[in-house]
Amino acid sequence: MSSDLAQKIRLIRETETSGRAEFSELVGVPKKTLIGIEQTGRVPKGDLLASICQQWPKYTLWLMTGQVNEAAGQVSPEIERTRDRLKPTGTDTGSRGE
């Protein structure tokens, strides 16, 4: 279970921030603590999980249960990455072959 949480935290960090330093600052945990969680699968404390859920509420259900409910705005980092890839770039003309 702990390695599952560590992997989920890493996925959120990679999706939402530029790196460990930014993530650590946003959630109020030392970077060294975050490294320990991600690399060793150490069980994160409840206050870290609460802070992640406050910072990114859209991941709360997925972080705690592994489930998503898109209708309720509860997604996973994979869903967010897919949404980002599918966003219009501003260079789309809307016409084909014209």
Query: Quick check: is 97 in a domain?
Result: no
Q: Which residue has the higher pLDDT, 90 or 44?
A: 44
Residue 91 has pLDDT above 80, yes or no: no
Q: Is the pLDDT of residue 94 over 80?
A: no
- The answer to whether residue 93 sits within a structural domain is no
Determine which of 64-68, 70-74, 85-89, 90-94 has the lowest per-residue pLDDT on average: 90-94
> Is 18 domain-assigned?
yes
Does 92 have pLDDT greater than 60? Answer: no
- For residue 92, being part of any structural domain is answered with no
Higher pLDDT, 88 or 25: 25
What is the mean predicted confidence (pLDDT) over 73-97? 81
Measure the CA dihedral 69/80/49/41, to 10°: 110
| 31 in a structural domain | yes
Q: Residue 97 pLDDT more than 70?
A: no
Under 8 Å CB-to-CB from 64, ≥6 apart: which residues? 49, 53
The number of domains in the chain is 1
Q: What is the pLDDT of residue 3?
A: 85
CATH code of the domain covering residue 6: 1.10.260.40
| Cβ burial, residue 43 (10 Å; 0-12/13-18/19+) | middle
**73 lies in which domain range?**
2-86
The answer to whether residue 98 is domain-embedded is no
Question: Is 79 part of any domain?
Answer: yes
Residue 80 lies in a domain: yes
Question: What percentage of the chain exceeds 70 in pLDDT?
Answer: 89
* Per-residue pLDDT at 31: 97
